[in-house]
């Protein structure tokens, strides 16, 4: 076979074999298969190559016989007639062309690489690789037509012409005579094919390939997309042993792919989320997660985990949220009468139930208003004010009834539903005010919290549009909602997120968080925020303060925005 030969075929879609197929003639023995021969003196190949005009005449005669469908005559013009006739017959039956046009060309650059021409004096059944001088390689052009399509299949082929013992030129028979890509142990036939397609698409229909999402695709629980795949047909070369991937050389009928599963994910935000989490987790050495949600719909726009192939931490994490929980505590305090401008002292420490609590900063701020307590994340102010104004069941009720935390969510993937338990004593109660104690949540839930503040109504997060969304029992009043947005905006303008979100204050709100967990040497870093119609939450295990690790990751998406 001439490796340099070009195959001219019309452009076809990428396809793969369907499970079912038509029968294909096995030509595994096409090269070494013998001819019994009826002549007492069978023709053999001689060492001398045929003359150029003799080779051209032999090639022309073979191509004419094949094109006319006189396969016996064509086979007789080869060095292994019986094998040639059998293979040409299989091509006609299994490829089933309506017409074949074969046009002789001129000298080829070299003899076919897989020619296997027999040595001089050998019978056709004793094939061996000859020296190049034993053949005259000649090109031809093939045009194969089908009733199923008006587009012909065209390709270039090569015939290795040898001289026989009777002095005539003959075609040295190899599978590559049929098609230059056909080799020993392979079959060619028209078979059903199906289109390859991305199994999942983003919200805009773009193919979605994601380190964090791809491992989760098999776990997605959602109705199958409407529509079904339609198989096509193509000329396919197959390995009879089944070890090599079948190759489509010409498509007769284009297959129609099944519609991909479309997720609510945005490919651009997802790409940014993956990069942000990798950076925040120091290349995956720390565990981390990030979720972006569209407040107006609840659509999940990005999900990223580190490590990407481990637990879906963003959905299944069950860890304390730290000071990001102060968003809910603030909502409860505002319903109890606190406003952004209510004076609420921030002492350097306080004790409840025999346990001492402190802030992340040492100096007291006894003149703080509540907006400053929130913006600077003063633990002692929240503990003292909450212990005075809030009942044991206030925070659990706020979490579930307004923010939907603790409801059963059907996101499209398995997810851990946030737990804000009724407190077990005074210490447990005030610990929950600052996101410690026995509260368990994850990035998905805390992104939803920020989204609820931005939108004013809880929209349960979903990964596939159309999934049922559990409603919250009630909404915050306009006054309370306004106050909550004010203190979150204060955090962006003057508080712990000011440096991170410089120039982004308009229409934005944020809360940083630091959560102490068990015996970890470093605290977990948390951050949740909204800007326009985009809410993001991130957490990094042992990442330190919220503005140190989680914050930069979340802000990268807020800067990109929900376009």
Report the Cα 496 to chain-centroid distance in Å: 36
pLDDT of 498 reads 98
Beta bridge pairs of residue 291: 303, 537
Q: How far apart are CA 33 and CA 27, in angstroms?
A: 9
pLDDT score, position 45: 94
167: number of CA atoms within 13 Å, CB side? 0
The pLDDT of residue 259:
84
What's the pLDDT score for residue 227? 75
Q: Of 386, 419, 397, 530, which is closest to residue 476 (Cα–Cα)?
A: 397
Could you give the CA distance from residue 233 to residue 255 in angstroms, rounded to a whole number?
7
Cα Rg of the chain (Å, integer)? 37
Residue 82 tokens, joined: 């019986």
End-to-end alpha carbon distance in the chain? 54
- Write out the DSSP string of 150-184: EEEEEEEEEEEEEEBTTS-EEEPP-GGGT-TT--T
CB atoms within 10 A of CB 103: 12
pTM of the model: 0.70
Per-residue pLDDT of the chain (563 residues; tens, 9 = 90+): 333 332 222 222 233 333 333 233 333 333 333 444 444 578 999 999 999 999 999 999 999 999 999 999 999 999 999 999 999 999 999 999 999 999 999 999 754 444 444 444 444 433 434 445 889 999 999 999 999 999 999 999 999 999 999 999 999 999 999 999 999 999 999 999 988 766 899 999 999 999 999 999 989 998 877 777 789 999 999 999 999 999 999 999 999 888 889 999 999 999 999 999 999 999 989 999 999 999 999 999 999 999 999 899 999 999 999 999 999 999 999 999 999 999 999 999 999 999 999 999 999 999 999 999 999 999 999 999 999 999 999 999 999 999 999 999 999 999 999 999 999 999 999 999 999 999 999 999 999 999 999 999 999 999 999 999 999 999 999 999 999 999 999 999 999 999 999 999 999 999 999 998 878 889 999 999 999 999 999 999 999 999 999 999 999 999 999 98
| SS3 of residue 230 by DSSP | strand
pLDDT at residue 197, rounded to an integer: 64
pLDDT at 534 (0 to 100): 98
With residues binned 3-state (H G I as helix, E B as strand, rest as coil), the percentages for the chain, rounded to 5, are 30, 25, 50
Apex CA 321: angle with CA 508 and CA 323, to 5°?
A: 60
Q: What whole-number distance in Å separates Cα of residue 412 and Cα of residue 206?
A: 19
CA distance 422 to 408: 18
Q: Given phi > 0 = left and psi -120 to 50 = alpha, else beta, which region is 90?
A: alpha
Strand partners, 107: 138
């Amino acid at each position: 076979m001439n490796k340099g030969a070009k195959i001219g075929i019309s452009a076809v879609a990428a396809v793969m074999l369907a499970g079912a197929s038509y029968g294909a003639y096995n030509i595994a023995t096409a090269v070494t298969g013998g001819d019994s021969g009826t002549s007492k003196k069978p023709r053999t190949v001689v060492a001398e190559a045929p003359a150029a005009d003799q080779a051209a005449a032999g090639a022309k005669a073979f191509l004419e016989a094949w094109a006319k469908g006189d396969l016996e005559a064509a086979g007789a013009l080869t060095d292994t007639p019986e094998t040639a006739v059998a293979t040409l017959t299989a091509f006609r039956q299994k490829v089933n062309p309506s017409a074949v046009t074969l046009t002789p060309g001129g000298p080829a650059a070299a003899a076919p690489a897989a020619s296997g021409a027999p040595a001089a004096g050998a019978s056709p059944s004793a094939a061996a690789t000859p020296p190049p001088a034993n053949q005259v390689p000649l090109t031809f052009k093939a045009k194969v037509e089908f009733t199923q399509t008006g587009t012909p299949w065209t390709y270039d082929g090569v015939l290795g012409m040898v001289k026989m013992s009777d002095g005539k030129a003959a075609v040295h028979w190899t599978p590559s005579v049929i098609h230059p890509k056909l080799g020993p142990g392979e079959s060619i036939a028209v078979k059903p094919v199906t289109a390859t397609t991305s199994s999942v698409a983003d919200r805009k229909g773009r193919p979605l390939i994601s380190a964090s999402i791809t491992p989760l695709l098999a776990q997605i629980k959602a109705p199958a997309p409407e529509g079904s795949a339609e198989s096509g047909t193509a000329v396919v070369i197959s390995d009879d042993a089944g070890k090599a991937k079948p190759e489509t050389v010409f498509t007769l009928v284009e297959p129609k792919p099944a519609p991909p599963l479309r997720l609510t994910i945005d490919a651009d935000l997802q790409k940014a989320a993956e990069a942000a989490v990798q950076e925040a987790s120091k290349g995956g050495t720390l565990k981390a997660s990030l979720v972006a949600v569209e407040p107006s719909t609840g659509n999940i726009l990005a999900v990223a985990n580190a490590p990407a192939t481990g637990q879906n931490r963003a959905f299944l994490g069950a860890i304390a949220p730290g000071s990001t929980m102060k968003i809910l505590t603030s909502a409860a305090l505002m319903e109890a009468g606190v406003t952004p401008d209510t004076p609420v002292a921030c002492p350097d420490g306080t004790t409840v139930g025999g346990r001492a609590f402190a802030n992340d900063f040492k100096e007291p701020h006894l003149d703080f208003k509540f907006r400053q307590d929130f913006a600077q994340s003063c633990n002692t102010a929240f503990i003292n004010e909450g212990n005075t104004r809030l009942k044991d069941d206030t925070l659990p009720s706020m979490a579930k009834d307004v923010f939907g935390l603790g409801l059963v969510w059907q996101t499209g993937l398995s997810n851990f539903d946030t737990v804000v338990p009724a407190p077990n004593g005074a210490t447990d109660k005030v610990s929950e005010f600052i996101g410690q104690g026995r509260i368990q949540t994850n990035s998905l839930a805390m992104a939803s919290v920020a989204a609820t503040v931005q939108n004013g109504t809880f929209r349960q997060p979903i990964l596939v549009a159309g999934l049922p969304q559990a409603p919250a029992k009630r909404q915050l009043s306009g006054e309370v909602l306004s106050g909550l947005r004010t203190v979150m905006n204060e955090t962006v303008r003057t508080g712990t997120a000011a440096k991170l979100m410089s120039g982004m204050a308009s229409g934005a709100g944020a809360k940083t968080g630091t959560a102490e967990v068990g015996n970890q040497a470093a605290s977990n870093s948390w951050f949740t925020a909204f800007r326009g119609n985009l809410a993001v939450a991130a957490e990094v295990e042992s990442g330190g303060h919220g503005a140190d690790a989680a914050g930069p990751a979340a802000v990268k998406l807020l800067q990109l925005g929900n376009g």
